[in-house]
Amino acid sequence: MIRLLYFARLREALGSVGEELTPRAGLTIEALMQQLAARGGVWAEEFGSGKSLRAAVNQTLAPVTTEIHDGDEVAFFPPVTGG
Amino acid sequence: MIRLLYFARLREALGSVGEELTPRAGLTIEALMQQLAARGGVWAEEFGSGKSLRAAVNQTLAPVTTEIHDGDEVAFFPPVTGG
Amino acid sequence: MQTEDFDVGAEITQLRQQRPDIGAVAAFVGQVRDLNQGDAIAGMTLEHYPGMTEKSLEAIVQQAKARWDIMDAVVIHRIGELKPLDQIVLVAVAGAHRGEAFHACEFIMDYLKTEAPFWKKEQTAKGERWVDARASDDAARARWHKI
Amino acid sequence: MQTEDFDVGAEITQLRQQRPDIGAVAAFVGQVRDLNQGDAIAGMTLEHYPGMTEKSLEAIVQQAKARWDIMDAVVIHRIGELKPLDQIVLVAVAGAHRGEAFHACEFIMDYLKTEAPFWKKEQTAKGERWVDARASDDAARARWHKI
C-alpha cells in the first residue's frame, strides 16, 4: 500500500485529502499520474498534461521518474507559494 | 579661515583635535597635506606619503585634488572602521 | 510552523547572544500585503504539509550551513489565518561576518519560497483564490546554482 | 548615532507597520565580537565625526532609495564604549518584495563600512589599538559599481 496526499488547490479540485492504493511493481510518479488521470473528470483535468504539479515521495520533492515502493507516502500539490 | 579637524588614530598621533588656518588661494587638499607635513616630526610622519589618510571637505569625502575655500571645514582621518 | 505571531527582536537576540564570536545577524521578515496582482487582499489562509514542512526547512538550513561559514539560523513560518500587516515569516542567520550571513539568509528565503510546502489562499472582494507561484521566485532560486 | 542600546524588534515593527504595501523587511544587526585578529577583545570605543556621520548615512540611504524600489530604511549606529555581545549597528530596509530589500540593506552596510566616519579602538590584553580598515570591506563596496 502507498499513501497518497493532495494539497491546496489540488485538494479542493479533487475534493479529497488523500487515499490509499496498492502500487504495481516498478510504478513511477509519472505512471501513477497517468493512472489517476485515467479516472476521468476532475482527475483527468488535474493529472493530465497541462497542469503544473509537484510531487514528493516520503516528504521530499521528487522528479516524475522516481520509482514508488510499497509503504511510501506520495504527495501531489501545486507549486509552493509560502514565504 | 578654514577649520581643520583630526580624528581617531590621527588625532592621537598629532595630539590635536583641530586648528584654524588661513588658506592661500587655490589651495588643494594635497597641497595642504604637504604644508602640514612640512612642520616636521609627527606632522611629517602622518601627512607625508605612506600613511593612508582620508579627507572630507564640509563633511563630505573629497579627493585630494579638491580645492579648499575660505570658510570650509576640512577633516583628516584614517580609513573608517565602523559597522 | 506556528499559528501564533513571533517576536523578531527576541528571536534575533537569542540567536546572536549565544556566542560572542558572532559579529553579524542578517534577517528577513515577511509581512502580509494588502494588495496582490491589482486586487485588495482582506486576508489569507496559509496551508502546509505537516511533516514535510519541517523536513524541507531543516534541509534548506543544512544546505546553507554547508555552503557558508555561518554559526546558526532560525526559520519561523506562520500557518492558518493571516491579515494584512501580519508577520508571516522570519529567517535570521548569525555568522562571524556580514557577507556570509547575508548570502545564507537570502539563499534560505529563495529556497523556502520554491521548495517548502506552503500554499497561500487569498480573500479578495471577488472571493477566495489560490496564489500562483511566481516565475521570479524560480529565477531567484536558480541563480544560486551559478555561484 | 546614539550611545544607548536599541530595540531591533521595535525598529523593524515601526518600519514595516507604517504601510500595508510593504511585503519584506531585510535587516542587519552587528554585534561586538570577543575576538579580532587573534586577540581577545575586552571592549571597544566607537569614535565618530559629529555632523558628517548624519550627513553620510543620510546620503547612503538616499543612494539606496534611488537605486532600488524600497519604501523606507532605518540606520542606527552606536558610539562610545561597547563590550562583546553588545549591539553596534542596525540597518533595516522595507520594500514590496524581498530582492530589492536585501540588496538595498547590503548596499547600505557596505557603504556604511567604507564611507561613514566611525572608528573603532579595541581594548586587548596588550593595550588599546585602533582597528585597521579591511580590504574585504573595500572589495564588498566595489562590487556595487559593476551591477
Q: Cβ of D113 under 8 Å from any chain B Cβ?
A: yes
pLDDT at residue C107, as a whole number = 97
Q: Cβ of B13 under 8 Å from any chain D Cβ?
A: no
Nearest to B75 among D47, D52, D118 (CB): D52
The percentage of residues in chain C with a pLDDT greater than 90, rounded to a whole number, is 90
pLDDT at residue D59, as a whole number = 97
Q: CB A56 to CB C52 under 8 A? A: yes
Segment D64-102, tens digit of pLDDT = 999 999 999 999 999 999 999 999 999 999 999 999 999
Nearest to A82 among C59, C116, C130 (CB): C116
The H-assigned helical ranges of D17-77 are 52-67
Segment C24-72, tens digit of pLDDT = 999 999 999 999 988 999 999 999 999 999 999 999 999 999 999 999 9
pLDDT at residue D99, as a whole number = 96
Q: How many CB pairs lie under 8 A apart between chains A and C?
A: 74
Segment C66-108, tens digit of pLDDT = 999 999 999 999 999 999 999 999 999 999 999 999 999 999 9
Segment A33-68, tens digit of pLDDT = 999 999 999 999 999 977 799 999 999 999 999 999
pLDDT at residue C147, as a whole number = 53
Q: CB D29 to CB C28 under 8 A? A: no
- 3-state helix, strand and coil shares in percent for chain A, rounded to the nearest 5: 30, 25, 45
Residues of D in Cβ contact (< 8 Å) with C20: 31-35, 84-85
Cβ count near C12 (within 10 Å): 26
pTM: 0.94
Nearest to D116 among B5, B78, B82 (CB): B82
Residue of C nearest to D17 (CA): C85
pLDDT at residue D37, as a whole number = 87
Cα–Cα nearest to D75, from D31, D110, D108 = D108
Which ipTM score applies to this complex? 0.93
Check whether D145 has a pLDDT greater than 90. no
Average pLDDT (D108-131) is 97
Q: CB B80 to CB D118 under 8 A? A: yes
Contacts 24+ apart (CB under 8 A), B24-33: B26/B67, B27/B67, B27/B68, B28/B64, B28/B65, B28/B66, B28/B67, B28/B68, B29/B55, B29/B57, B29/B62, B29/B63, B29/B64, B29/B65, B29/B66, B29/B68, B29/B74, B30/B64, B30/B65, B32/B68, B32/B74, B33/B64, B33/B76
Residues of C in Cβ contact (< 8 Å) with D105: 26, 102
Our CA-based measurement puts residue D130 at a distance from the nearest CA of chain B, in whole angstroms, of 6
- Grid cell digits, residue C21: 564570536
Check whether A27 has a pLDDT greater than 80. yes
Segment B24-64, tens digit of pLDDT = 999 999 999 999 999 999 999 999 977 789 999 999 999 99
Residues of A in Cβ contact (< 8 Å) with C120: 81-82
Q: Cβ of A7 under 8 Å from any chain C Cβ?
A: yes
